[in-house]
Amino acid sequence: MSNHARRAVGLAALAGAAALAAGCAGPGGDAAPTTGGATARPGADPDPASLAVEVHDTHPFDADSFTQGLELEEGGTLLVGTGREGESRVYRRAPDGEELESAELDDDLFGEGVARVGDTVWQLTWREGVVVERDSETLNERARHEIPGEGWGLCFFPEDPLGEEPGGVLYQSEGTGDLIRRDPETFGELGRVSAPAGVDGLNELDCATGEGADPAGGDADSVVWANVFPTDEILGLDPATGEVLATVDAAELAAGTPAAGEDPDHVLNGIAHVPGTGRFLLSGKKWPVLYEVEFVPAAERETASRPAGAGR
């Protein structure tokens, strides 16, 4: 079997895991932590878990995509949002890599994160103050909505981690340390959750739930995983408090990807948790590869890579 065929089979297996997990799932300013649409800002976690990436497989990816959003749908299809003026679009690809539906943005719009909510796909733009509402099957545009500030990353929790919104909640980043909670039907702002002081540049997001969502050894049922622009770091954040649960060093992925060294903007960007597993799909801007990884304790990776008999 060719390498491409093996990779297609591997991703198809992940698709089966995602579909099975979905079938077993249930229905779908500083201030003290509060509810009712207010801002929550906790104190810094003194000891977040230190994690590294362990690569299990690689899959071919679109090297022309300035990847800004990545989401694994039921059935294993990937929803991808891309950026840059004149290049921005949202598209869907099958587990074997075949491109399915695709929809381009106007040339003057810079695409950012994407998230699917039932029969709707929301697509952010960067500095244009526009979020595009799309049909989830065809990706055709339905409407545009105005929002203040910048749009960076976006993800959706079918069940609100704060228990306030019966229809679930969207989380949006804007390049700061804040996560904006949004209504999944109207995109209206519901409140904010802030990471501890010093956390900045939150970019592409993944709302991970259930088994494998928190590989940091904790018991969190819901975690927001966030790329940190322009670094090779990923943060695991508590969606209720903003607490940093884990930091992930993914520098080895960029080091092994030639595209990452061609342009300072070609950074790690794109996270998709595989439901029901401890695996994640990671890629970057203009990266020709999609990595299938686990987040493992950094100390274990250091021990595994140290030659026998070597000291500290």
Mean of pLDDT values over 117-144: 98
Side by side, the strands of the sheet bearing 178-182 are 39-40, 189-194, 178-182, 169-173, 154-157
- pLDDT(23) > 60: no
Q: What is the pLDDT of residues 72-119, one digit of tens each?
A: 999 899 999 999 999 999 999 998 889 999 999 999 999 999 999 999
Residues 6+ apart with CB under 8 A from 283: 61, 67, 70, 268, 269, 270, 289, 290, 291
pTM of the prediction? 0.85
Residues 6+ apart with CB under 8 A from 34: 40
Percent of the chain with pLDDT over 90: 71
How much is the pLDDT for 37? Answer: 45
- pLDDT(22) > 70: no
Mean of pLDDT values over 166-187: 98
Distance separating alpha carbons of residues 177 and 265, to the nearest angstrom: 20
**Third-level CATH fold of 49-304:** Neuraminidase (2.120.10)
Q: How confident is the model at residue 25 (pLDDT cuts 50, 70, 90)?
A: very low
Residues 6+ apart with CB under 8 A from 181: 37, 162, 165, 169, 170, 171, 189, 190, 191, 192, 193
Q: Using an 8 Å Cβ cutoff, are 225 and 234 in contact?
A: yes
Please provide the average confidence, as pLDDT, over all residues in the chain: 85
How much is the pLDDT for 264? Answer: 87
Helices (H), the chain: 3-24, 251-255, 298-305
The alpha carbon of 39 is separated from its chain's Cα centroid by a whole number of angstroms, namely 22
Hey, is 261 helix, strand or coil?
Answer: helix
- Tell me the CA distances in angstroms from 162 to 33, 68, 149, 203, one per residue in order: 11, 27, 24, 22
Q: Using an 8 Å Cβ cutoff, are 275 and 71 in contact?
A: no
- pLDDT(207) > 60: yes
How much is the pLDDT for 43? Answer: 46
Q: Would you list the domain boundaries of the chain?
A: 49-304
Q: What is the pLDDT of residues 29-52, one digit of tens each?
A: 333 333 344 344 444 446 899 999
Residue 79 phi/psi, 5-degree rounding, is -100, 125
